[in-house]
Structure 1
């Protein structure tokens, strides 16, 4: 399932914080999940994006740690015996106004409405998808959104989202936002073909149009990377499909 957020209030409980929020330099997320291995895999992935994540399997321990650490958000599974994710979301929201995400699996569909009504910020799929979690954490803390994105390295090409910086070997390459976003997308999918429609959806948030906007951006990126325009070896055209980025 995709992340689910309420479009209208569902009689949410009242938020009454009991402690002042802690100012910190990195986002802190507590992950409450009885499946420690799955939670730790997510925590490792988030750590690469400059997010501190603490894994806890016991709900009572998690509630105690929340009181001490005052995390920026909590991610809880829909079922953490003897409690439910909805009960945890309600407790955290009413006592500390802490944003809570509830993870629901294939058999937890009935938990979505309960979680949102209890004050959960959103419901996400379980098994976890890092991209979905990142999007929601970015919504919770938009001022640090770029810090959540990992530095990408593909061959000699390096892209740092937090510094808005691209390097090819030792050379610093300057490019405008849309080209930067397109290059970032291609590097995230290095070696894979992305169709033109996929690129339009992910970068421009719409299906492919008749304009040659994408062609122009690809041509400019190739020029900045020193890629041969007639026989490109980095940003490669795949006839009839789209583009693929190969390590330089």
Structure 2
């Protein structure tokens, strides 16, 4: 769902490059275009002083400082919302984050779609984003449903746990039903070309089949076209808003 109307800028601060790329790719797919990335406190402060971002996603563990202290420093330059992203999940850690000026707290492991949703919520309150329903919130393929907004996969009326990267891959197929998609294009569109190897896509396809197919060894939906790629085979490319 593309909701960005006034081009807000977002700064993501994390020393884990795959996490930076994962969040960046997700935000870009949600319509955001002005995304800054930093892997240290020093780099982050330089970007904040230069660009004054509208919202900041901040990891607590950084190589040259801790996120709590950095947030305190950030508050001397901007009142932009700060969303902590961290593996520290105790109540004390959360209280400490808020006491240093944080506005939200997301624990790892996380669903990047949840990060995007929380960013949008803060930007909406600031008047920087408005909702535009330009595509369905739920894809209904009969045997299974994919709820884009909530990040849920429903199979046979039961919710099935689906890790973030698998959900991103499934969502990509849902947005391109009945289209033959090569492995190279999947890498480019879903992984952003920073992962490689045929086994990466194959493993994720297999895991998705185990979730959505009645017979994963003889898939009715997520099919392989030998030598060419994969296709989500669904009647009329059905996408219903529920």
TM range (shorter): 0.5 to 0.7
Match of 2:93 among 105, 111, 125: 111
What is aligned with 1:28? Answer: 9
Deviation at 1:95, TM superposition (A): 2.6
Unmatched runs of 5 consecutive residues or more in structure 1: 1-23, 147-161, 167-179, 199-237, 239-244
CA RMSD of aligned residues (A): 3.4
What is aligned with 1:37? Answer: 18
Q: Does 1:123 pair with 2:105?
A: yes
Aligned equivalents of 1:68, 1:165: Cα separation in 2 = 34
Q: Does 1:54 pair with 2:16?
A: no
Aligned equivalents of 2:156, 2:72: Cα separation in 1 = 41
1:76/1:108 Cα in 2 relative to 1: closer, same or farther (>3 Å)?
A: farther
1:98/1:195 Cα in 2 relative to 1: closer, same or farther (>3 Å)?
A: same
Q: Does 1:69 pair with 2:51?
A: yes
Aligned equivalents of 2:94, 2:84: Cα separation in 1 = 8
SS in 2 for 1:91: helix
Aligned equivalents of 1:122, 1:66: Cα separation in 2 = 19
1:192/1:44 Cα in 2 relative to 1: closer, same or farther (>3 Å)?
A: same
Aligned equivalents of 2:52, 2:6: Cα separation in 1 = 14
C-alpha contact 1:31 1:56 (8 A) present in aligned 2 = yes
Q: How does 1:191-230 map to 2 (within 5 A)?
A: 192-193=154-155, 195=157
Deviation at 1:107, TM superposition (A): 6.7
TM-score by length of 1: 0.51
1:128/1:95 Cα in 2 relative to 1: closer, same or farther (>3 Å)?
A: same
Deviation at 1:37, TM superposition (A): 1.8
SS in 1 for 2:109: coil
Q: Deviations over 1:5-41 (max 9, x none)?
A: xxxxxxxxxxxxxxxxxxx932211111111122111
1:39/1:99 Cα in 2 relative to 1: closer, same or farther (>3 Å)?
A: same
Deviation at 1:57, TM superposition (A): 0.6
Q: How does 1:227-246 map to 2 (within 5 A)?
A: 246=234
What is aligned with 2:80? Answer: 98
C-alpha contact 1:36 1:56 (8 A) present in aligned 2 = no
Larger radius of gyration: 1
C-alpha contact 1:77 1:103 (8 A) present in aligned 2 = yes
C-alpha contact 1:42 1:128 (8 A) present in aligned 2 = no
TM-score by length of 2: 0.53
Q: Deviations over 1:41-85 (max 9, x none)?
A: 111111111123222112111111101101011111111132111
What is aligned with 1:85? Answer: 67
Aligned equivalents of 2:56, 2:45: Cα separation in 1 = 10
